[in-house]
C-alpha cells in the first residue's frame, strides 16, 4: 500500500487520512485523536513523513487502537519506530 500523502482535519482534535490498498481492493482510512498526553492512532496506515511531521508537531503518539483483527496495517511499524502500546481485539 502506498503511504497516504496528506491528512484532513475534522475538528481541532480529530484528523483522518486514507489510501487505496490494491491487496484488498479497498480504500483504507485512519484516524488520529489529539489528547492532552499526545495522539491516539486508530487503525493506522502510514502517512508520508512530511504529512506525519505536520500532523504531530512536537506531540507524540501515546497509543494505537485497532478496531478489527485485520486492521494491523502500519501498527507494527509505528510500534517499532516509537515503542508505543497497541490495543487490539
Which domains occur in the chain, in start order?
A: 8-87 (3.60.15.10)
Q: How many secondary structure helices (H) and strands (E) does the chain include?
A: 2, 6
**Whose CA is closest to 30, among 12, 52, 50?**
52
Single out the residue of 36, 41, 57 nearest to residue 4, CA to CA. Answer: 41
pLDDT tens per residue across all 89 residues of the chain: 678 899 999 999 999 999 888 887 888 889 999 999 999 999 888 888 899 889 989 899 899 898 876 656 655 656 666 778 878 77
With a CB cutoff of 8 Å and minimum separation 6, the contacts of 65 are: 40, 41, 42, 43, 86, 87, 88
Q: Which pTM does this prediction carry?
A: 0.83
pLDDT, residue 6, reads 93
> For position 35, what pLDDT does the model report?
96
Q: What is the pLDDT of residue 34?
A: 96
Please report the pLDDT score of residue 24 as a whole number. Answer: 79
Amino acid at each position: 500500500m502506498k503511504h497516504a500523502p496528506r491528512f484532513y482535519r475534522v475538528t481541532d482534535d480529530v484528523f483522518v487520512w486514507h489510501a487505496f490498498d490494491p491487496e484488498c481492493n479497498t480504500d483504507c482510512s485512519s484516524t488520529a485523536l489529539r489528547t492532552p498526553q499526545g495522539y491516539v492512532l486508530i487503525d493506522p496506515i502510514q502517512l508520508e513523513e512530511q504529512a506525519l511531521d505536520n500532523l504531530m508537531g512536537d506531540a507524540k503518539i501515546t497509543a494505537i487502537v485497532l478496531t478489527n483483527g485485520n486492521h494491523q496495517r502500519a501498527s507494527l511499524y509505528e510500534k517499532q519506530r516509537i515503542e508505543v502500546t497497541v490495543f487490539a481485539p
